[in-house]
Structure 1
Amino acid sequence: LSTVIDGDRRMFAVTDFAGADGSAGLACDTSAAETIRAEHERTVRSHADTLDQLNTAVAIFDTDEKLRFFNQAFQKLWGLDSGFLLSAPSNTLLLDRLRSEGRIAEQPEWRRWKENLLSAYRAVESQEHWWHLPDGKTIRVVANPQPKGGVTWVFENLTEKMDLESRYQTAVRVQGETLDNLAEGVVVFGPDGRLRLSNPAFVALWGLTAEALKPNVHVSAIRDLCDQHAANSPWGGFVAAVTGFDDERRDRRGQIELINGNVLSYAVIHLPNGQVMITFVDVTDTVNVERALKDRNEALEKSDQLKNEFVQHVSYELRSPLTNIIGFTELLSLPATGPLTPKQREYVEYVGSSSSVLLTIVNDILDLATVDAGIMQLDISEMNIDRTIAAAAELVADRLDEHRIKLAIDATEAPASFHGDETRIRQILYNLLSNAANYAPEASTIRLTCRRLADAVEFSVHDDGPGMPPDVLESVFRRFEPRANGGRRRGAGLGLSIVKSFVELHGGTVRIETGQDRGTTVICTFPDKPSGIPDTPAGIRDAAE
C-alpha cells in the first residue's frame, strides 16, 4: 500500500486479520526494500541496454539452463527468430537448434561434445572454446559461470581479425622473401637508431656476417664494421641521418668506392614514424663501362684533334705549290711563252684541270677545318638570288656541256633577294650542281628550283640518276666517304659535307629525297633573315672515323 506520511511517499505491507471478536491489521514499512528493488531493476535494464550496444554476442542462462537474456548481436550472429529466443529455451535445446539448422559444425561425438560444453554450469572458472562454423566464421566462445548459478556465454566473432592477421603474416613473409631475393642491399633503422631489418644482399655487398647484424644492433656498431671496407666511408653521414634531429628529413643519394674496387650507389630514404631506409646497388660494371667510354671518348677526341691539325697543316702546305703549278700551267698556255704541239697542249690542259680540282679539294678541307674550329664568320648581306644562281651555273657549264646535260632553272616563286653569305651560298649551289652532274644520265636534265616559304627560302637540285640506297643515305654527309654507285668519277667525299656545314651555319637545314631509280633531290632551306651565326653545326665532327 502506498501512502504519504510527513510529505514522503511510503510503501507498507498491510496484513488484515479477521476474528470472531473483530479484526486487526498490521502495516510494515517496506519503503527501503522497494527502493532497493527498483534500483536493482534499473541496474539490470541499464546492463541489458549496454549489452545490446555491443558487437559481441552475449547470452545469459539461469541455474535451470534457461535463456534469460540475449542481446541483438547474439540474435544477428545465429540468425534465430525472436519468438524462439523469447520463449526461454534451454541451453541444450538452443545447441540442438543450431546443429539442426547447420549453424555450427557437426561434431563426430555430438553428445560428448555437448556434455563437455554444458559442464560450464558445474565449473567455477571460465572456459574458452573455438568454433569454426560451416560458413567460414571463427568464433571465440567464453563460458563464464555466475556466482549464484547460471552461465554467461560470450561469442566473439574473430573472423575479420583472423583474416587480417593471416594477411598480415602473409604480407610479412612475402616482404621478407622479396627483400631476401633482391640484388639491392636494404637496411632499415628505427627512430632509436637500432636495426629493424636487413637483407642478405646488404650483408654480401659490405662483406659482413649475419651474426654482426643481430636485431636491435645500433647503427653506430654497423658503421664501425662498414668503415673498414671503404676509404671515404659515408657511414658517418648515415648515422647523422638516422639519429639526427633534422626536421626536413632530406633524402640523399651518392656513390662510394670500396677498398675491393666495387662501386656502390646508395640512397638514404626517410620513412614514416622516424625510420630510415638505406639502399645499396652494385654499379661496378656500369661505372667501369662509363670510365672506359670516357677514356675512349677522350682518345677519340685527341685523335680527331690530331687529324684535323694534320689535315689543316698539310692543306696549307699543298695550297702554295698548287697555286704555283696552276700559275705556271697558265703561263705555258700563253702564246707569248712559245708554241706548243697539240700533245703538249693536251698535257698542259690536263695538268691545269687536275691542279684546279686538287686546289678545290684543299680549299674545301680548309673551309671544313675553319668550321670545326668555330672561327668561320659569314658575311651576311642582302644577296641577289638570280645573280647567285647564274654564277653557280656558269661554274659547272663546261661539265654539263661535256655530257650534253641541260640545266633547268625555276625561280618564278623565289624572292628577288634574301639575307645570306653570297659567296658561301654560291659554293653550296656549285657543289649541289657538281654532285648532280656526276650522277645525271647523259643528255638528261638537272632541275634547280628556288621558292619562298613562309619565313624561309628553299633551294632544291634534282637529278635523274640511280638514286641512293638506304645504306648510302645514312653516311652521305660524312667526310671522305665518296660513293660511286652510278657516278662518273669518285670525288673526295667533301661536296655534301661542305653543303651541310654552310647551310647549318646560316641556321638552315638540309634533307634528301631519293629512292632506287627515282633520282635524287637535295633540298636546302635557309631562314629569310638569319638571327645569327650558330656554333659548330651538329654532325660536323662526324669526320672520317
Structure 2
Amino acid sequence: MELPPTALVLMGLLLAAWTFGAVWMVVGSLQRRRAARAARKTVRRLTRLIDDAPAVPLLVKPDGKIEGPDRLAAWLGLPKLPGFISELDSTDGGITTEDLAELREAVRRTQKTAAPFSMVVTAKRSTRSLAVRGQLADPAIATGGAALVWWFDFSESQGELSRLREETARARNDFAALVGLIEAAPMPMWFRGPEMDLRLVNSAYVAAVGAEDATKVVEQQIELVETVDGLTAAQVAGQAHSRDMPVERIVQATLGSQRRTLRVADLPLGEEGVAGYAFDIEEMEEQGRAFRAFRAAQRSMLDQLSVGVAQFDETRRLAFANQPFQRIFGLPGTVLVDPPDFDRFLDKARDNGRLPEVRDFPAWRAELSGWFTEDAPVEDAWTLSDGTHLRVVGQPMPDGGLVLVAEDRSEQLALSATRDTLLRTRTATFDSLFESLAVFAPDGRMQLWNRSFPAVWGISDDALDEHPHVDKLLDRIANRLARPAQRKAIGEVVRAATLDRQERGGRVVLSDGRTLEFAGVPLPDGNGLLTVMDVTDSTKAEEALRERATALEEADAVKTRFLANMSYEFRTPLTSIGGFAELLQSGVAGELSPQGKEYIAAIIASVERLSQQIESVLDLTQSEAGLLPIATEDVDLLSFTTGVVRAREEAIEAKNITLDLHGDKSAGQVSADRRQLGRAIGNLLDNAIAATPEGGRILVALTRRKSGARIVVSDNGEGMKPSELARALDGYRLPGADGSEGKRGLGLPLARQLIEAHGGRLEIQSEKGQGTTATVLLP
C-alpha cells in the first residue's frame, strides 16, 4: 500500500526527531559521565589538598560531636580522633584540661554568636605548638549551627618566633647600649633622616652648640658645623648620602666659647639616613704645628752646625741634609727636591770624590746599607783622596731609618799634630831657657819643669820624677836655704799663683851664698808657673849701682848748691863792673878822651852781653836740674807775641828784613810764665834774624788748636843740615857762613827747655839753602 507523501514526510520527521532525541540523550549521558568523573577528581584533589594543607579542619556540631581527619589525631598524639570534643583530653595525648576548657568555651560562643576566635594550644607529651582558629561553619558544610575549627601546626614558626623575640630583645638591648654609648661619647654625634634633617644628637653635641637639651636641638635644627665654601652641613651630608660614600673633612667650629679644629665625618646608612661625628683635633693640630715649628727650628739649627747631619727615612730615601753635609759630600743644592736613596747617594758622593777609595765598592756599599738594621750606632773613619779625614757615625732609627753624621776632623788632626809639635817645642824651649821653670797644678802637685830647676836648688833629677807635691818639694830644699823659714814664702807664692790667681814674687838666699829670685805667675789653664833665677851677680851689681846712685845724689846736691852760689858770684862782680863803667861814662871820674869813651862803651856792651850769656847758662842749667821757677798766668797770645817782635824792631830794620805777623784774637790765651815764654820765643826770633840775610823774610804765625795754641817762626835763611841742627839743639859751636867758627848757640837748647817747662813741645825743621821753621806747641 502506498503511503501518501504527507505521511512519508511525517514519518521522516518523526524518525528524524526520534534520531535526534537518541543522539541528544547519548550526548547528555556522556556529558554527565564526564562531569561526574570531573567531580570525583575535584573531590579527590580537594581532599588531597586538605590532607597536605598546613591547616587541619575540625567540624564541631552543636551536640559536641566532632568530625575531622586522622592527621589531627596524629598532631594531638591520639591513635584516632574521638567522637566528641570533650574527649580531646586523654591520658595518652590530646590537649591539656585548661586548653580544652578554653577551646570548648570558645566553640560554644562561636556557635551561639558566630564570632570567630583564635588561640594557641600545646599537645600533651609533645613540643608541638598548635594554633586554633574557629568560625561558624557555612551551611553548605554543615547545618544546625556547627563550628568549623582550623588547626595550624606552627611549631617551627613558634621556634622562629621565639628566636626572633630573643633577637629582638637582644637587638633592643644592643640598641639601648649603643644609644647609651653614643650619649656618653665625649665627641659630638648625630643622626640625620632621609631628608637630611637632624633626628638624634648626643649630649656632647648639645653641650657643643650650647643648647638646653637634645629636643631643642632637633626642633630648631641647630647645626654644629658652619657653612664652609657655600655648603651647609646638611648639604655635605646629602652628598655623602647620594654618593653612598663617607665624607671626612677638617673644619673650624665653635665649641662652647672656644674656636676649635674638628675632623667631621658623615657616614651614609643606606635609605635610613646619614650618621655623623666630630673629633676635636685642636690639640693634635697644635702639636702638629709645634712639631713642624720644632722640626724647622731643629733643621735651621742643624744648618748652623759645622757637623754634617742627614736623615734617611724607612724607605732609605734622603729626607733631610743640612748645609755642612751637602758641602762635605758635594751634593747639589736641589738634592732635597729629588731626594736620592741611600745607594744612589753613595754613588753621587763617589762620583764627586767624597768617599774613600775601596777595592770592592759594591760590597762596601752593601756593608754600609746594613747600618739601617744595626742595633747600636756604628762609627767609621773615612780618609778621602784629597787628605780629608771624616768621622762618620750611623745611628739607626726605630722606624727603620738612619741618621748619618759626618764630621770633618782634618783640622782637628792638624791641630793635634800642631799641638804635639808645640808640646815638644815647649819642652825644648823650657830646657833651653836660662831661668828655672816649674808648673804646679791647683792641687799643688808638680806637673812640668825644665832641666835648670833641680840644678838651681841643688837637688837630683830623680827627686822630681814622681811629680812631688809642693810641700814635699819645699821639705827637700829647706836645708839648702840660709834661713829655712823662707820655705813658707815659696809655698805662699805657689798657692797664690794656682788658687788665688795672683802674681807674687820673692827672694831667698841659699846656704852657699847664692841669691835666688822667684815669682809665681797664674797660667790660663788654671795652673801656676814658678820661675826661679840666680840673681847673685845682678844683686852685687845692684848694690854697686845703689852706691853710685847715692854718690850721684850727693853730687846733684853739690851742683844745686853750686848753681845757687854761682848765681850770686857771677852776677855781683859783673854788676859792679857795669856800674863803674856807667859812672866813668857819665863823667864822675872826669872827662874821658874819645878813645876812653869807646873803651867804656865796649866794656858796657860786653857786660850786657855777658850778663845775658850768664843768665842763659844759669837758666839752662836750672831747667835741666828741674830748679827753674815757672810762675804761670793767663797771657794773651797775640799782644804778647807782638810785644816780643817789637822788642827786636831795631835788629830787624838794621838788616832790612821783612817780618810778617799772622794772627788775630782767635789765637786766644795760654797759661804761661810771661818772662820765660818771652825768652823762649825771643831766642827763636833772634836765631831767625841772625840766620836771615839782608832783605830776607821772616814769618810769625799764630793759630789756635783744640788742645792749645801753635806759634810758627819761619825764615828763608841758609838753613842747616840734619847734623848741624842736632848740634845746634845740643848747644855746640856752629861754623859761620864764611867757614869760621860761629858762636856758641845756647838759644835753641834754652828755648826748648823753657817751652817743655810749660808742658809744650818745640819742633824744628831745616833744610840747607831753604831756611828753618820752628813750631811751638803750647797746651
Q: Structure 1-normalised TM-score? A: 0.55
1: CA distance between counterparts of 2:492 and 2:362?
55
Structure 2 counterparts to residues 283-362 of structure 1, below 5 A: 299-300=551-552, 302-335=554-587, 337-362=589-614
Aligned partners of 2:497 and 2:527 also within 8 Å? no
- Matched residue, 2:703: 452
1:266 aligns with 2:519: yes
* Residue in 2 that maps onto 1:378: 631
Q: Are 1:202 and 2:425 matched, yes or no? A: no
Shift of 1:241: 6.9
Per the alignment, residue 501 of structure 2 pairs with 250
Report if aligned partners of 2:683, 2:747 keep a CA contact under 8 Å in 1.
yes
The 5 A counterparts of 1:143-542 are 179-188=430-439, 195-215=446-466, 217-231=468-482, 234-239=486-491, 248-259=499-510, 260-267=513-520, 269=522, 277-282=529-534, 299-300=551-552, 302-335=554-587, 337-368=589-620, 371=623, 372-374=625-627, 376-378=629-631, 380-383=633-636, 385=638, 389-390=642-643, 392-395=645-648, 397=650, 404-415=654-665, 418-419=669-670, 420-441=672-693, 443-454=694-705, 456-474=708-726, 476-478=728-730, 480-486=731-737, 490-527=742-779
Are residues 264 and 458 of structure 1, via their aligned partners in 2, closer, same or farther at CA, if it must alter by over 3 Å? Answer: closer
Measure, in 2, the Cα distance between the counterparts of 1:463 and 1:245: 64
Change in Cα spacing, 1:79 to 1:344, as seen in structure 2 (3 Å) is: same
Distance in structure 1 (CA, Å) of the matches to 2:454 and 2:498: 30
Residues in 2 aligned to 1:169 and 1:232: alpha-carbon distance in whole angstroms: 42
CA distance in structure 1 between the partners assigned to 2:552 and 2:481 by the alignment: 34
Measure how far apart 1:374 and its partner are: 4.7
How many Å apart are 1:524 and its aligned residue? 2.4
User: How far is the alpha carbon of 1:319 from its aligned partner?
Assistant: 0.5
Distance 1:414 1:245 in 2: 63
The answer on whether the counterparts of 1:186 and 1:278 sit within 8 Å (CA) in structure 2 is: yes
* TM-score normalised by the chain length of structure 2: 0.40
Deviation (angstroms), 1:335: 4.4
Q: Secondary structure at the match of 1:453?
A: strand
Distance 2:576 2:421 in 1: 91
Q: For each residue in 1:37-87, what CA deviation from the matched residue of structure 2 results, as whole angstroms up to 9, or x when unmatched? A: xxxxxxxxxxxxxxxxxxxxxxxxxxxxxxxxxxxxxx99983857xx9xx
For the Cα contact (< 8 Å) 1:465–1:519, is it kept in 2? Answer: yes
Question: Match of 2:451, as an amino acid?
Answer: P
Specify the alignment match of 1:151 in structure 2.
none
**What CA distance in whole angstroms lies between the structure 2 residues aligned with 1:428 and 1:177?**
59
What secondary structure is seen at the aligned counterpart in 2 of 1:79? helix
Greater Rg, structure 1 or structure 2?
A: 2
CA contact (8 A) 2:497 2:529 kept: no
- Displacement of 1:216 after TM fit? 5.1
Q: State the percentage of identical aligned residues.
A: 27
Alignment partners' CA distance in 2, 1:359 and 1:510: 26
**Structure 1: stretches of 5+ with no match in the other structure:** 1-74, 86-162, 528-545
Is the CA contact 2:523–2:529 (under 8 Å) kept in the aligned structure 1? Answer: yes
Please report how far the alpha carbon of residue 325 of structure 1 lies from its aligned counterpart in structure 2 after TM superposition: 0.9
Aligned to 1:278, what secondary structure does the other structure show? strand
Structure number with the bigger relative contact order (C-alpha 8 A, sep ≥ 6) is 1
Residue of structure 1 equivalent to 2:364: 79
- Give the Cα separation in 2 of the matches to 1:395 and 1:354: 19
**What are the superposed Cα offsets for residues 283-311 of structure 1, whole Å, 9 maximum, x if unpaired?**
56666666666665555554444334323
In structure 2, give the amino acid aligned to 1:515.
Answer: E
Maintained 8 Å contact 1:409/1:449: yes
Please tell me whether the aligned partners of residues 392 and 429 of structure 1 are also in contact (alpha carbons under 8 angstroms).
Answer: no
Following TM superposition, by how much is the alpha carbon of 1:227 offset from its aligned partner in structure 2, in angstroms?
2.8
Structure 2 CA distance, aligned partners of 1:193 and 1:418? 64
Match of 1:543 in 2: none
Residue aligned with 2:657, SS = strand
In the aligned structure 2, how far is the partner of 1:178 from the partner of 1:382?
A: 61
Q: Tell me what 1:29 maps to.
A: none
Aligned pairs (5 A) from 1:84-99? none
Post-superposition offset of 1:317: 0.9
Q: Which amino acid aligns with 1:312?
A: A
Aligned to 1:332, the other structure's residue is in SS state helix
Aligned pairs, number: 370
Local SS of the residue matching 1:483: strand
- Alpha-carbon distance between aligned partners in 1 of 2:604 and 2:538, rounded to the nearest angstrom: 58
| 1:278 shift after superposition | 3.0
Preserved CA contact (<8 Å) 1:452 1:458: yes
Letter in 2 for 1:265: F
1:215 counterpart SS class: coil
| C-alpha distance in 2 between matches for 1:448 and 1:170 | 66
| C-alpha separation in 2, matches of 1:268 and 1:391 | 59
Aligned residue identity for 1:389: T
The C-alpha deviation readout for 1:328-364, integer Å capped at 9, x for no partner, is 1122122454332232222212211111111112222
- For 1:186 and 1:214, the matched residues in 2 are separated by 15
Bigger shift: 369-378 or 512-521?
Answer: 369-378
Unaligned stretches of 5+ residues in structure 2: 1-359, 371-412
Task: For 1:400 and 1:245, locate their aligned partners in 2 and report how far apart those are by CA, in whole Å.
Answer: 72
Shift in CA distance, 316/525, structure 1 to aligned 2, threshold 3 Å: same
Q: Distance in 1 between matches of 2:496 and 2:773?
A: 69
CA RMSD of aligned residues (A): 4.6
